Amino acid sequence: MSKPRKPKGRPVSGWLILDKPADFGSTEAVSKIKWLFNAQKAGHAGTLDPLASGMLPIALGDATKTVPYVMDGRKIYEFTVAWGEERSTDDLEGEVTQTSAARPTEEAIRALLPRYTGVISQVPPQFSAIKISGERAYDLARDGETVDIPSREVEVHRLTLLKCENDKAHFEVECGKGTYVRSLARDFGRDLGCFGHISLLRRTYVAPFGEETMVPLADLVALEKIEERDERLAALDEFLIDTSEALAALPQIRVSEDQAHRLRMGNPIILRGRDAPVTEPEAVALAAGKLVAIGEIAGGEFHPRRVFS
User: Domain 75-206 has what CATH class?
Assistant: alpha beta
Same fold across 14-72+209-243 and 250-307: no
Q: Is it the case that residue 10 has pLDDT exceeding 90?
A: yes
Q: Quick one: pLDDT band at residue 50, thresholds 50, 70, 90?
A: confident
- CATH architecture assignment, domain 250-307: Roll (2.30)
- State pLDDT tens for residues 185-213: 999 999 999 999 999 999 999 999 999 99
Q: Is it the case that residue 232 has pLDDT exceeding 90?
A: yes
pLDDT of residue 277: 87
Would you say the C-alpha torsion 53, 35, 11, 3 has a positive or negative sign?
positive
pTM: predicted TM-score of the whole model, two decimal places: 0.90
Residues designated catalytic = 49
Is-contact 94 141, C-beta < 8 A? no
Say whether the peptide bond before residue 7 is cis (omega within 30 degrees of 0): no
How far are the Cα atoms of 82, 112, 189, 194, 195 from residue 167, in angstroms, in the given order?
6, 17, 12, 10, 11
Would you say the C-alpha torsion 171, 177, 180, 185 has a positive or negative sign?
negative
273: left (phi over 0), alpha (psi -120 to 50) or beta: left
Domain 14-72+209-243, classified CATH 3.30.2350.10, yes or no: yes
- State pLDDT tens for residues 57-95: 999 999 999 999 999 999 999 999 999 999 999 999 889
Q: Quick one: pLDDT band at residue 274, thresholds 50, 70, 90?
A: confident
Q: Would you kindly state where each structural domain of the chain is located, as residue ranges?
A: 14-72+209-243, 75-206, 250-307
Average pLDDT, the chain: 91
Q: Is it the case that residue 271 has pLDDT exceeding 90?
A: yes
In 207-272, DSSP assigns E strands to 215-216, 252-254, 269-270
